[in-house]
Amino acid sequence: MVALTEKIEKRLTIQTVEIAEHTTAIRSLDWDRDRFDIEFGLQNGTTYNSFLIRGEQTALVDTSHEKFRQLYFDTLTGLIDLSEIDYLIVSHTEPDHSGLVKDLLQLAPEITVVGSKVAIQFLENLVHQPFKRQIVKNGDRLNIGNGHEFEFVIAPNLHWPDTIFSFDHKTQTLYTCDAFGLHYCSDSTFDEDLKTIEPDFKYYYDCLMGPNARSVLSALKRMGELPTVKMIATGHGPLLYHNVEELTGRYRKWSQTQTKAETVVGIFYVSEYGYSDRLAQSIANGIGKTGVAVEIVDLGTEVDLQELRELVSRCAGIVVGLPPTTSAASIQAALSTVLGSAKEKQAIGVFETGGGDDEPIDPLLSKFRNLGLTEVFPAIRIKQTPTENTYKLCEEAGTDLGQWVTRDRSIKAMKSLGADLDKALGRLSGGLYIITAKKGDVSSAMLASWVSQASFKPLGFSIAVAKDRAIESLMQVGDRFVLNVLEEGNYQALMKHFLKRFAPGADRFEGVRTQSAENGAPILTDALAYIECEVASRMDCGDHWAVYSTVYAGRVSKPEALTAVHHRKVGNHY
């Protein structure tokens, strides 16, 4: 058996660049990071961008991920005495941007933290020490002298509820943190190579911003009230300078399309309670795999109840994250509006949020059932700190809901192909295989037949994976998995097992004999052969990903046996 490739140490570097007058970008380059959460695979690493602006006073916009603690502070103290920093502008409090805020305030306690009301509240729970603060609202300004005057734009849900943008009138630079960013690590500070970065720019939008399309449009409208924006200093990836108009235009176009989608699912929750934000995001990611538009509404923010009624009434499905029993009257009013606007034949899903004081789940679910809604996935109950398996369960629940609300569309698509072409295409045959994968504690499997060798040097093959498959999120570039080859005449039991519909979070391997491959993925003991593989690239093929993988180990249990063959009669469905 071929040994695993030696593990390469993860590369972390820092880049400092003068991007505008009196303005320095401090970019923490995470070259080898391959994933944000279990569901968000990265092909090209990422960066965490921080900015130092010097006027008569000095402001720092955001910090970095805690993994850069030593590198970041060595760099920052090489640029400035920390006691000379007057303001820390916190765009939002997600750990990859605020991971070093506590350290900074311990080293320089006189800094005034500037952020939204929600951000300051989050930081109080993060820092656990008194600190100077300045809460800003939309249109508020902060003048640090020498022409550097920041104007703040409130941009909730992009993609956290506490987000603000900061516009420096002197340099016409807009600091946006997550919005307009992308997970792409390179030495290029700016976006001069649009062709190279645009796939990651779109993927980032789809994963993080698409479910908040209405919030994107609201932020774009507020941005339109600013003077010309010459540069967008993002929190991830290259800064936008060469293609500002083009890329903000794409955000507008994509978000307008999303909000006008024929099939929409609404997710309603209170972001600052429990683990609701990431739980909701995981469900949204699962729904998005099915091509269904998602609209996320944070009931803890100011919600227009009439707009909420209109949204709920046009949703094909509704997902509700339980708020605390002690929630504010405005939250209770919003939840009552969701309940009062729901209608028969809509799909419903409910999840606990793990804050320790959730509303009882069963009475709320019963109310939706009594209105004629269909419970598409079992209620998700959070009794302990969510694990990666919990978030995977949420993603699979979202996919089930997305498939349910598009079932009529799927049937119509099956009937749309001409009979002769359908039958001819169905004569393309393939082998029978089981794909197995494991990432951390999360594992999954899939029956496959669209598999073909694609290269000799390197040894590689391609496999088509439907976008709504649970295993898809474990087959990102760099992920490792096992291709199990089924045996002709001895495949029925395994095929039957892996063809059945699994409930969200169910163990795909219960009752199946397995052993662990060197890469950690399960090998099916009853398979004819197995091959250990690593995903090298993926190509978007509409409703499938064409996944090209290289091969580095394998074994055949019965050299004289043949691979099972799958013959179809139609070409427009499995």
pLDDT at position 419, please? 78
Average pLDDT over residues 225-241: 96
Tell me the DSSP string of 457-516.
TTTEEEEEEETT-GGGGG-STT-EEEEEEPBTTS-HHHHHHHHSPPPTT--TTTT--EEE
In this predicted structure, the answer to whether residue 418 has a pLDDT above a threshold of 90 is: no
pLDDT band at 411 (very low <50, low <70, confident <90, very high): low
Q: Judge residue 418's burial from the number of C-beta atoms within 10 Å of its C-beta, 0-12 exposed, 13-18 middle, 19 or more buried.
A: exposed
In this predicted structure, the answer to whether residue 209 has a pLDDT above a threshold of 80 is: yes
**Nearest to 289, CA basis, from 203, 378, 375:** 203
pLDDT at position 100, please? 93
pLDDT at position 38, please? 44
pLDDT band at 540 (very low <50, low <70, confident <90, very high): confident
pLDDT at position 574, please? 63
pLDDT at position 526, please? 95
What tens digit of pLDDT does each residue of 249-299 get?
Answer: 999 999 998 888 778 999 999 987 888 888 998 999 899 888 898 988 889
In this predicted structure, the answer to whether residue 473 has a pLDDT above a threshold of 60 is: yes
Q: Strands (DSSP E) along 21-146, which ranges?
A: 23-30, 35-36, 40-41, 46-54, 58-61, 87-89, 112-115, 132-135, 141-143
pLDDT band at 4 (very low <50, low <70, confident <90, very high): very low
% of the chain residues with pLDDT over 90: 70
Quote the mean pLDDT of the chain: 90
Q: In degrees rounded to 5, what are phi and psi of residue 66? A: -60, -25
pLDDT at position 8, please? 44
In this predicted structure, the answer to whether residue 7 has a pLDDT above a threshold of 80 is: no
Q: Judge residue 393's burial from the number of C-beta atoms within 10 Å of its C-beta, 0-12 exposed, 13-18 middle, 19 or more buried.
A: buried
Average pLDDT over residues 136-160: 93
Q: What are the tokens at 491?
A: 């495949």
**Nearest to 264, CA basis, from 205, 336, 210, 331:** 210
pTM greater than the 0.75 cutoff? yes
pLDDT band at 3 (very low <50, low <70, confident <90, very high): very low
How would you classify the pairing of strands 132-135 and 112-115?
Answer: parallel
% of the chain residues with pLDDT over 70: 94
pLDDT at position 5, please? 33
CB 455 within 8 A of CB 532: no
In this predicted structure, the answer to whether residue 361 has a pLDDT above a threshold of 60 is: yes
In this predicted structure, the answer to whether residue 414 has a pLDDT above a threshold of 70 is: no
CB 99 within 8 A of CB 63: yes
More confident residue, 375 or 476: 375
More confident residue, 97 or 520: 520
Q: What are the tokens at 157?
A: 């849900």
Q: What are the tokens at 441?
A: 């504690």
* All residues at 6 or more sequence positions from 154 whose CB lies less than 8 Å from its CB, including other chains: 116, 137, 138, 163, 164, 222
pLDDT at position 440, please? 86
In this predicted structure, the answer to whether residue 452 has a pLDDT above a threshold of 80 is: yes
Average pLDDT over residues 478-505: 93
Average pLDDT over residues 483-506: 94
pLDDT at position 42, please? 64
pLDDT band at 2 (very low <50, low <70, confident <90, very high): very low
CA-to-CA dists, residue 37 to 125, 129, 207, 221, 388, angstroms: 22, 29, 11, 30, 8
